[in-house]
Amino acid sequence: MNKPTIKILSVLLCAALLAGSVGAVSVINRPEEKKTQTSINTVAGTEEKDSLSKDETVYVLAGADGSVDKIIVSDWIKNALGSASISDKSQLTDIENVKGDESYTMNSDGMKVWDARGNDIYYQGNIEKELPVGLRVSYKLDGKAVSAEEIAGKSGKVTIRFEYDNRQFETVEIDGKKEKIYVPFVMLTGVLLDTDTFTNVEVSNGKLMNDGDRIAVMGLAFPGLQENLDIAQDQLEIPSYVEITADVKDFSMGTTITVASNDVFNQIDTEKLNSVDELKNSLGEMTDAMSQLMDGSSQLYDGLSTLLEKSDKLVSGIDQLAQGAKDLKDGASQLADGTITLKDGTAQLVDGLQALSDNNAQLNGGAKQVFETLLSTANSQLAASGLTVPKLTIGNYAEVLNQVITSLDKNAVYQQALQTVTQKVEASRPMIIEKVTAAVREQVLQQVTAAVKEQVTEKVTIAVQEQVAEKVIPIATGGKMTKKEYDAAVKAGLIDEKTQAAVEEAINTQMKEEQVQELIASQIQSQMESQEIQATISAKTEEQMDSKAIQSTISQNVESQVQKAISEAMASDEVQQKLQAASEGAKAVIALKSSLDSYNTFYLGLLQYTDGVSTAASGAKKVDQGADSLKDGAAQLKDGTSQLYDGILQLKDGAPALVDGVTQLKDGSMQLSDGLKQFNDEAVQKLADLVNGDLDSIVTRLKATVDVSKNYRNFSGISDEMDGKVTFIYRTEEIES
């Protein structure tokens, strides 16, 4: 696009944007930032749209030629008023909440009702739907169209063209006529180019930035805007594509990113587009350019004057041209003789290549038959080893055998066996828990019973000792005191230590009597068997079983038993034999695939060879035809150079007349200068007036474009109660050399 066109387009767009008080366009949604909602593109009196809006980013994963592989949509519902629930309309599948645990249900109207709980909703999903703008990337190498696969690793003059197909439009009425108005998407395409690979880079409608190692290329386009504004391209060309040219060595290119957004037009306030006086004033630049053209006509007159002064050198150059024409005539004669020899050689080449080409089918068929025999043998070997796999073919054998090798990986088999054993052991976990709990309960019961028995023994022994003392003390005191009286006397300090020791020894001696010990044992057993003591033992046992310490012990013992069972099963002969068999099987299949790969390399090389022979045979025929044409052309060239030589001699004889012609041309240039002045007065000024009159129509169509843009606010679906905007990001895959 030439500089005047760029300048006019800049004036037009800047005037429109300034009229709308546009801010910077954001092409990356930042969830942490809250966007201030302005009055632009709102519906008066609709409180819901002020409180709910959907920002949508559509990620288009594309091939190197722009063909769509997958579309991923990311939506952010802004819940400004903190509503408890949000009704959302969406065509997405496989929806995933990516920033929270909020879920949704479907209502009777087919709407997704999110349980927002006052939060914003962030989700993404997939969709199969035609994009509003199609992207096509094409490549040329030295002027010839090539595919992305063909250009990889090549060198030469490269042209990369990004074309955008705007498919989104509305039919509106303009000045009483139905018109198709496209949604005005701004397409921004960027790519980083390695300076070791790309040199002399140029871009249409864009900008280059070079840091020494890489060149950042940015291009801008407005598909459909030319048609919307109904401006002829010869008057103003609005870019609808981006084209990159460069010299390249071993072509490779990374991912390209294209951002499509109509938000820049959504920000325009159409009420302010009625004032276009400043835009009309820019047409004065055309008259300035006309003044420069008239100045140029004066420079032409001066140049012709200089040419006239140099006429002597011109005549000398014609003499040299005559000598060169003679040399050319002699060379053309030699060329004609050489083309006759070339024609004989190409005929022999055609015969030899055709003989090779005739045997291509038989050679390819034999190689294919050998390949299929090898695959049949491989199928038999796999079946004999107990492996069940799909039938191996030339097309699928590599994928099938890779899957078999993966399944026979020792680590994979170990993990599969571990999973199977673990599932079996886990199935018996309830039984393990039951056994461990019973064993622990038995231990707790024994400990509680021992503790209770110790307490009962102490109480019974004390009680029997009291009974023995009742009998021993009167005897030890000579019948003078009862036990009660003796205890009172001891307490009062009336009994000496010697007497106390004698009484205590008598009591201990009596306690050691077999009859007394049997009494104690009998009473202890009776107490232990009583319902009261048994209830106490049971209650304390349950209390201990419910304690955190005992429950922790049970849990640890259960896990220990589970892991022990898993370890024992994994160490079994059955599992170890499976692991060994898998390792040996994988080695055998790897060897089988390696041999098939070797033959496949030969087979593909043979196909390429025979294809090359066919191509060479076909090309040889064309070369033969070309040699024939070259022979005829050389003869014509020989005749033509003779005529050229004769003509140069005539030019040499006519040089004086040429000098006279330059003199006349000098006089004519003065007349041209006068004519340009008349053209400026009678044509250019009238053209400026005409364009000024057409600006009103352009503004009307620009208003319609803005209105259509504001109507397009979502791709995957949006409810009437929401405001919204959408950005498309296309990413093409890289091309490796």
DSSP state letters, 338-359: HHHHHHHHHHHHHHHHHHHHHT
Above 90 in pLDDT, residue 156?
A: yes
At 650, the pLDDT band (50, 70, 90 cuts) reads low
Q: Tell me the C-alpha distance between 201 and 220, whole Å.
A: 16
Question: What are the pLDDT digits (tens) for 350-364?
Answer: 777 777 778 888 878
Above 90 in pLDDT, residue 255?
A: yes
Above 80 in pLDDT, residue 675?
A: no
Q: What is the mean pLDDT of residues 385-390?
A: 77
Least confident of 573-587, 616-630, 633-647: 633-647
Q: Are 134 and 60 in contact (CB under 8 A)?
A: no
Longest dimension (CA), the chain: 182
Q: Tell me the C-alpha distance between 660 and 656, whole Å.
A: 7
Nearest partner of 590 among 404, 413, 416, 415, judged by Cα: 404
Alpha helix segments (H runs only) across 200-248: 225-229
428-439: b (≥16 Cβ within 10 Å) or e = eeeebbeebbee
Q: Tell me the C-alpha distance between 211 and 194, whole Å.
A: 10
* Mean pLDDT (the chain, rounded): 80
pLDDT of residue 188: 94
Q: Are 483 and 468 in contact (CB under 8 A)?
A: no
Least confident of 57-71, 137-151, 387-401, 587-601: 587-601
Q: Tell me the C-alpha distance between 37 and 119, whole Å.
A: 18
Which residue is it, tokens 């004057």? 305
Q: Tell me the C-alpha distance between 263 and 40, whole Å.
A: 11
Cross-strand pairs, 125: 73
Q: How far apart are the first and last CA of the chain?
A: 32
Q: Tell me the C-alpha distance between 690 and 678, whole Å.
A: 18
Indicate the helix (H) or strand (E) that contains 250.
Answer: none
Above 70 in pLDDT, residue 645?
A: no
Q: What is the mean pLDDT of residues 270-293?
A: 53
Q: Tell me the C-alpha distance between 99 and 89, whole Å.
A: 19
Q: Tell me the C-alpha distance between 591 and 386, whole Å.
A: 17
Q: Are 721 and 87 in contact (CB under 8 A)?
A: yes
CA atoms within 13 A on the CB side of 651: 17
Q: Tell me the C-alpha distance between 512 and 502, whole Å.
A: 16
> Domains of the chain: which residue ranges?
427-570
Least confident of 101-110, 179-188, 416-425, 514-523: 416-425
pTM of the shown model? 0.44
Q: Is the dihedral of CA 41, 31, 726, 47 positive or negative?
A: negative
Pairing outcome for strands 723-732 and 52-62 = parallel
Nearest partner of 61 among 131, 143, 154, judged by Cα: 131
pLDDT of residue 40: 30
Q: Supply 551's token pair.
A: 């429950």
Q: Are 709 and 183 in contact (CB under 8 A)?
A: yes
pLDDT of residue 607: 84
**399 or 201, which is more confident:** 201
Q: Tell me the C-alpha distance between 195 and 180, whole Å.
A: 44
101 φ, ψ (degrees, to nearest 5)? -115, 15
Above 90 in pLDDT, residue 681?
A: no
DSSP 495: S
Q: Are 182 and 223 in contact (CB under 8 A)?
A: yes
DSSP 207: E
Question: What are the pLDDT digits (tens) for 217-248?
Answer: 999 999 999 999 888 888 778 899 999 999 99
| Virtual torsion, Cα 14, 16, 19, 25, nearest 10 deg | -70
Question: What are the pLDDT digits (tens) for 529-551?
Answer: 999 999 999 999 999 889 998 99
Above 80 in pLDDT, residue 310?
A: no
What type of residue is 698? Answer: I
pLDDT of residue 416: 79
Q: Tell me the C-alpha distance between 118 and 434, whole Å.
A: 48
